[in-house]
Amino acid sequence: MFYKTISLVFLFSFLSANAQQNDSITKIDSMSRRPLKFNYKQLIIPGVLIGYGVIGIESDQLLSFNHQIKAEVTEDIDNKITIDDFSQYAPAASVYALNAFGVKGKNNMRDRSVIFVTSYVIMASTVLGLKSLVHEERPDGSSNNSFPSGHTATAFAGAEFLWQEYKDKSIWYGIAGYAVATGTGLFRIYNNRHWLTDVAAGAGIGILSTKLAYWMNPYITRKLFKSSSESKSTSMIMPFYNGQQYGLGFVKVF
């Protein structure tokens, strides 16, 4: 049963990557000049994931499936593998790492950073808001803030960010990001920290948050930056999540 779950979650991420590859998105040199065209088809994958998670809160069938997965996982688990505490950041960090190694993405540093911060603000607000409203108990019984999975939302927000920035270079960048995000979600289940429905909802929220950030960016940058010329230094706020709390850190790039 657990292996069926792995296949299910991986299928969601694979479909997400392929659905986005087929979307016709207007190419732009700077996101602050022309907005991306809204395409409702881009809402299908995150909508299905979020819907699955929300329905699972009250659905007896999905709740039973959650417990079946938990039973199979706890049978085989010997030691927790905490790689998910770090892998959640890997897709987003890869965007900046690739740029540092000379692989240019779709946007410049300023616009990319605005998109990144916007995405994580939307994602963190949504996740923390739902956790405080739903009060779902974690599989290990440690707390009542299981729904949705913040680690998974963080990872998938970063995976979508990596996809959007580098899909025109190679689709494999995005596929790699989604593979890492999927692994993060699976480890949350394996470590008995989340139900499948938590992970599915987290994945959908993460993807949707980044999509919204790209759609909103032209309007945000027009408000934040009056001048069209790019300054020699860039300041940005970098969100972080330590497993219990979200926060912001200030970074200045010269």
At 236, the pLDDT band (50, 70, 90 cuts) reads low
Question: Domain for residue 141, yes or no?
Answer: yes
Round to whole Å and give the CA distance between 15 and 129.
28
Q: Per the domain annotation, does 30 fall within a domain?
A: yes
Residue 248: predicted pLDDT: 58
Assess if residue 236 is contained within a domain: no
Does 155 map to a domain? yes
pLDDT at 69 over 70: yes
Q: Tokens for 189, please give them.
A: 């289940």
Q: Is residue 250 part of a domain?
A: no
Question: What average pLDDT does the structure give for the chain?
Answer: 82
Specify the pLDDT at position 225: 82
Give a yes or no: residue 201 inside a domain.
yes
Residue 249 lies in a domain: no
- The total number of structural domains in the chain stands at 1
Instruction: Determine the structural domain holding residue 214 and report its residue range.
Output: 2-225
Residue 254 lies in a domain: no
Q: Each residue of 103-121: pLDDT tens digit?
A: 999 999 999 999 999 999 9
CATH at residue 39: 1.20.144
The tokens describing 152, both together, are 């998974």
Q: Look at residue 235 and tell me whether its pLDDT is greater than 60.
A: no
- Mean pLDDT of the 46-65 span: 96
Supply the DSSP string of 98-156, one letter for each residue.
HHHTT---SS-HHHHHHHHHHHHHHHHHHHHHHHHHH-PPPTTSS-S--SS-HHHHHHH
Q: What's the pLDDT score for residue 239?
A: 58
29 pLDDT more than 70: no
